[in-house]
Structure formats: structure tokens, C-alpha cells
């Protein structure tokens, strides 16, 4: 009984995800689904990306949180349009919520739509939102065992951002282990080591993003 209800929810989500996907293809918009634990630095990274690429990319953001619109406010302060979705307890965004947000955001006028999913490494990875690509973030203070504990989430990533590398000297974090563990579940993932606080390593992320959005010079 429970299994079939879950299947129904997932298949309804899948139908709506297909509509979102078709929308992004039709309008030539790159949609990224950002997934990570709370506090790993998604909002900080997205806001910095908006500021640093403001002359090159028109970015719109869909924010998912259980409560509050604080992240949408931070994104607007960085200079981009943002729509906040409050999930009221749900641990992930659904494709239907994203469908409604796309309309409110005038997503067809953007080069890139970034979805900041609800913070956790479990539920968001089970729900396709119709995105073109998933970006999974892991920050140094969370510990180096996360790729082996949440393999499914890392397996679905096109990009893995290892954030807060400025804290590496203060915290025990076996980078080699993390890189090897991600490679086991996802040999093709692009892995960038960054600090959204200092800016270190972000150039490689920006290069990837511009290229993926079809906006690079080369």
C-alpha cells in the first residue's frame, strides 16, 4: 500500500518534471538543481556567482526552504530575481512547485535558473525537478565520510563542489579519500575545490558554468 502511494507521488512528480524539462529546452535555459546539507554554503556560493558573473549571465533563483524567505532576500541583495518556496515541513522541492516558480520568475528571460533545494543529502535526490544538471555540494566541516554515506546523491551529480577549503588547515578532512569515494560512485563528475568565502577555486566553477550555459568565449 505504502509502496504504491510512493510510486504514485513519484510518477506525478515525473510527469511535471517532464513539463519543466521541455520548458527549459524550448527557451534555451540551463537549470541547475543545487543539493547539499544545510549550512554547506549553497546560498553563499550562488550569491557570489551572481555577483561575479553579473555581466556575463542572467541568473534567476528558486529557493526551497522549510520556512522563511531569508535565502531569497540574500539572492535579491546580490542582484538577481528570486522566488522563495516554503515547503512547510517537506524535505525536498517537487517538480510542481518548481513549475509554478518558473512562471513567477519569468524564467524564459534568464540564461540560467538555479534551484537551491531544501538542505539535506537524502530526499532531494529522489525527486527529478526537470533540471538539466545537478550540483552537489559538500563542505569541509561536514566531514570526509559523506560520499560513502550518501552515495546515491553523489552518483547523480554532474558537478561536485567541495566548499570551505579555506578551513582545510583547521579541520581534519581527508581530501584524497573524498575524491576517491566520489570517483567510485560517479567516475564522470566534475569536482571543483572552492571557497565561497575567499573566492579560491571559483574560476573553474565559473568556467564550467559559462560553458554549460553556452556562454563561454571559446
Binding residues for Mg ion, per CB under 5 A? Answer: 42-43, 71
Question: Does residue 166 belong to the site contacting ligand GDP (CB under 6 A)?
Answer: yes
The Cα–Cα gap between 127 and 198 comes to 33
Write the binding mask 25 to 54 for ligand GDP: x where contact by CB under 6 A, - elsewhere.
Answer: -----------x-xxxxxxx----------
CB of 218 to ligand GDP, least distance (A): 28
Q: Which residue is nearest to ligand GDP (CB)?
A: 41
- Residue nearer to Mg ion on the CB measure, 45 or 193: 45
Q: Assess contact for 146 and 155: CB atoms under 8 A.
A: no
Rg of the Cα atoms in the chain:
17
Could you say which of Mg ion, ligand GDP, none residue 108 binds, taking C-beta under 5 to 8 angstroms by partner kind? none
CB 103 to ligand GDP: min, Å: 24
Give yes or no for residue 167 binding ligand GDP (CB under 6 A).
yes
Say whether residue 156 binds ligand GDP (CB under 6 A).
no
Distance between CA atoms of residues 43 and 26, nearest Å: 28
Closer CB to ligand GDP, 38 or 152, in the complex? 38
Per-residue binding string, ligand GDP, 104-133, x by CB under 6 A, is: ---------------x--------------
Contact between 96 and ligand GDP by CB under 6 A: the answer reads no
| Residues in contact with ligand GDP by the rule CB under 6 A | 36, 38-44, 119, 163-164, 166-167, 195-197
Amino acid at each position: 500500500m505504502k509502496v504504491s502511494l510512493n510510486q504514485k507521488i513519484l510518477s506525478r512528480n515525473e510527469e511535471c518534471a517532464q513539463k519543466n524539462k521541455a520548458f527549459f529546452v524550448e527557451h534555451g535555459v540551463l537549470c541547475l538543481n543545487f543539493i547539499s546539507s544545510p549550512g554547506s554554503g549553497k546560498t553563499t556560493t550562488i550569491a557570489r556567482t551572481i555577483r561575479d558573473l553579473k555581466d556575463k549571465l542572467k541568473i534567476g533563483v528558486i529557493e526551497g526552504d522549510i520556512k522563511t524567505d531569508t535565502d531569497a532576500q540574500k539572492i535579491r541583495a546580490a542582484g538577481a530575481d528570486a522566488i522563495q518556496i516554503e515547503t512547510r515541513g517537506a524535505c525536498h522541492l517537487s517538480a510542481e512547485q518548481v513549475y509554478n516558480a518558473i512562471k513567477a520568475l519569468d524564467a524564459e528571460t534568464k540564461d540560467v535558473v538555479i534551484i537551491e533545494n531544501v538542505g539535506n543529502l537524502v530526499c532531494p535526490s529522489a525527486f527529478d525537478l526537470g533540471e538539466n544538471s545537478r550540483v552537489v555540494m559538500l563542505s569541509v566541516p561536514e566531514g570526509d565520510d559523506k560520499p560513502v554515506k550518501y552515495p546515491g546523491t553523489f552518483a547523480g551529480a554532474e558537478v561536485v563542489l567541495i566548499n570551505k577549503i579555506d578551513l582545510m588547515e583547521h579541520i581534519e578532512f581527508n581530501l584524497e579519500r573524498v575524491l576517491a569515494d566520489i570517483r567510485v560512485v560517479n567516475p564522470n563528475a566534475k569536482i571543483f575545490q572552492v571557497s565561497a568565502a575567499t573566492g579560491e577555486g571559483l574560476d573553474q566553477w565559473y568556467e564550467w558554468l559559462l560553458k554549460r550555459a553556452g556562454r563561454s568565449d571559446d
